[in-house]
Amino acid sequence: MLFQYKCPDCGNDMKFDSESGTLSCDACGKHENIDNYPEELKTARFTEDEANEYHCESCGAVLITEAETTATNCSFCGSVVVIADRLSGNLAPAKVIPFTISKEEATQAFKKWCRKGLLTPKGFMSADRIKGITGMYVPYWLFDLNSKVQVDAECTKVRTYTRGEYIYTETKYYNAFRDINLDYVKIPVDASEKMNDELMDKLEPFPYEQLKDFKTPYLAGYIAEKYNYTDSDLLPRAKDKIKEYIESYIHSTLSGYHSIHYKNKRINTSSVNSSYVLLPVWMISYDFNHSEHIFAMNGQTGKVVGKPPISTSKVSMWFGGITAGTFLALKCMSFLMGGGFW
Amino acid sequence: MHVLFDGRWFLVRGRFLKRSLLFLLTTYLLVSSFTLKTNAESINQKRYVYDEAHLLTDNEVAKLEALANEKGKDTNTAFLILTVNGIDGKGYIEYVENFYDENAPGYDKPHGNTAILFIDMKERDVYLAGFQKAEEYLDNNRLDLIQDKITPDLSNGKYFKAFSKYIELSHEYMGYKPGVNPENILFKWWFQLIVSIAVGAIIVTLMAYQSGGRVTVNARTYMDSNKSKVLNKRDVFIRQTVTKQRKPSNNNKSGGGGGVTRGGYSHSGSSGGKF
């Protein structure tokens, strides 16, 4: 089943407007508040066989989509289409963070970011070869994790003092035990197969105060996908993400000691809650030197990530400059210390 | 319009050129005034090598004389070499002091700036002393450093090499402010170069690494600080060990050091030693 949003006044396609946060009509300027839209997808059920073929309600053409696509545009008439049965039941997202950065703002912000690149080639900095910019709702699982930690460690405190002709080094050994409870909330893990995990991790943090109850109109005008991985598939990755946080917390509880030798470390992490959300990402593809570079931008904060090309001449310039500068600084330092300049 | 623009540009460039020339000239004058403070040959000191033990050939003596003359100019100090074959039971410090009193050496004036390398072939003693300016710039520590560096050559009988080294090192050390350790690794150009290259490489690598965006979340981002805490802790003292180590004593090596001559001239001195 397809959802399409037609303006009740003029019949034109309505899209989500990132500026006002409403569903708006380009043609007549009508705004409709999304909160008023009913949402029955969580309970709605669609039969399996219905999901094979969709026809655009505007032009009647067959909608060609990938199996994951939940929101797109009709490739013939450009109408905004939301595929409702791919967003229902288990596949219904609990929350969504809507876009606040519009396509124009995203393009401008990306150009600005390119200009700031200190090592990027000159031709890249002008950012005039943006091939495509796509607003995309990426499926994420937000995990609430609870870790129960018990640690036994042998720790030492070292003190040195002088008495008469001797220097004494006193080492005190302690058995330290810590029982720690750690709660981490809303750890995001992207559930899309297509998205590069490393890239998506760098997009964090997303402003969770912007999380809204999911309503299909938020997707109107953007591309959206359903998850490829379930929450149980991704739990190991979520645990992996907090691993070093836990380690650093444990270490911080033993901060008074000079040396720590762990004898026993039990970390039991379990998932308290996981919720399926859609988070806004602008995907930008950029042609440079006959190869395509992919960048992603956080659709709320505007943070840009992705590997820009690196100019060897700029690298050598910076390297030369910093090396020469440091050398000069060291020379000046040795001069001030009385070591002569040469 | 275009020509005018170009012309103005040349004008600007001309001024820039003139300025940079002026800058270069002042730098050159400044540097040269530093390095070529005294250009005249010593009017007092005509002889630098007193090779009474006959360790050197005439040719070697001439070479050392030339070297001492050249290096002495720079530092305004006479670098003397004194070799003897026995000193009739006198202490070598006393011998060097008497030598200074009697011969009145000095680059600038009689009883002036002088460094003396003394060698007794009979007792195989080596000792260095610094007078006047050399007392300040070649203090006991620096003379010790020089002594340590030339002793192996002396032991191997390479006297010419050891003497040349003594002049070169004395000259080099006098370029450092009094009181600082001239062998400080921070003063070595190769060390400075390595550090600079390392700093440059590390910073540029970091820049390249971070060009793709940084991770801006940390351990606190997702932690629920209300519920995350230490529930229970125990710190039980088990045992302690104490090790002791003798304090490194300020090594007052026997003999050596500075002093005052009978004529009333104070001087610095190396700790002296056998080779």
Residue B135 sits in a domain whose CATH number is: 3.10.310.50
CA atoms of B107 and B114, how far apart (whole Å) = 7
Same domain, yes or no: A29 and A57? yes
Q: Tell me, what's the pLDDT at B43?
A: 73
- Residues of chain A positioned with their CB less than 8 A from the CB of B229: 180-181
- CA distance, residue B102 to nearest chain A CA (Å): 35
Q: Tell me, what's the pLDDT at B11?
A: 45
In a domain, B201, yes or no: no
Contact A179 B229 (CB under 8 A): no
The number of folded domains in chain B is: 2
Which residues make Cβ contacts (< 8 Å) with residue B137, sequence separation at least 6?
B75, B77, B130, B173, B174, B176, B178
Average pLDDT over residues B6-12: 45
Average pLDDT over residues A210-215: 88
- Give the range of the structural domain holding residue A138, as residue numbers without chain letter: 1-147+188-227+272-308
- Give the range of the structural domain holding residue B32, as residue numbers without chain letter: 1-36
Helix axis angle, B189-210 to A312-336, nearest 10°: 140
- In degrees and rounded to multiples of 5, residue B144 shows phi and psi of -65, -45
Same domain, yes or no: A326 and A209? no
CA atoms of A297 and A135, how far apart (whole Å) = 9
Same domain, yes or no: A81 and A210? yes
Average pLDDT over residues B86-112: 88
Average pLDDT over residues A38-42: 64
A180, HSE (Cβ side, Cα atoms, 13 Å): 28
In a domain, B260, yes or no: yes
Which span out of A246-250, A290-294, B71-75, B120-124 was modeled with the highest average pLDDT? A246-250
Same domain, yes or no: B134 and B268? yes
Out of B180, B199, B236, closest to residue A326 by CB:
B199
- CA distance, residue A313 to nearest chain B CA (Å): 12
Same domain, yes or no: A109 and A66? yes
The percentage of chain B sitting over the pLDDT mark of 90, rounded to a whole number, equals: 41
Same domain, yes or no: A12 and A141? yes
Out of A117, A181, A323, closest to residue B197 by CB:
A323
In a domain, B140, yes or no: yes
Q: Tell me, what's the pLDDT at A236?
A: 94
Choose the weakest-confidence range: A50-64, A174-188, B20-34, B175-189: B20-34
- Count CB neighbours of A40 within 10 A: 9
In a domain, B30, yes or no: yes
ipTM over 0.90: no
**pLDDT tens, residue by residue, B195-221:** 999 999 999 999 988 888 888 888 889
Same domain, yes or no: B4 and B100? no
Contact A171 B193 (CB under 8 A): no
Same domain, yes or no: B53 and B175? yes
CA atoms of A250 and A131, how far apart (whole Å) = 47
Contact A326 B195 (CB under 8 A): yes
- CA distance, residue B190 to nearest chain A CA (Å): 10
Same domain, yes or no: A286 and A319? no
Report which DSSP code applies to A104: H
Higher pLDDT, B214 or B163: B163
Same domain, yes or no: A341 and A301? no
Contact A340 B244 (CB under 8 A): no
Same domain, yes or no: B26 and B83? no
In a domain, A56, yes or no: yes
Same domain, yes or no: A193 and A324? no
Average pLDDT over residues A262-283: 93
In a domain, A60, yes or no: yes
Cα–Cα separations (whole angstroms), residue A329 to A317, A324, A335, B158, B178:
18, 9, 10, 40, 22
Choose the weakest-confidence range: A39-48, A76-85, B70-79, B172-181: A39-48
In a domain, A213, yes or no: yes
In a domain, A174, yes or no: no
Same domain, yes or no: A73 and A208? yes
In a domain, A247, yes or no: no
- The answer to whether the CB of A34 falls within 8 A of the CB of A17 is no
Average pLDDT over residues A25-37: 81
Same domain, yes or no: A80 and A217? yes
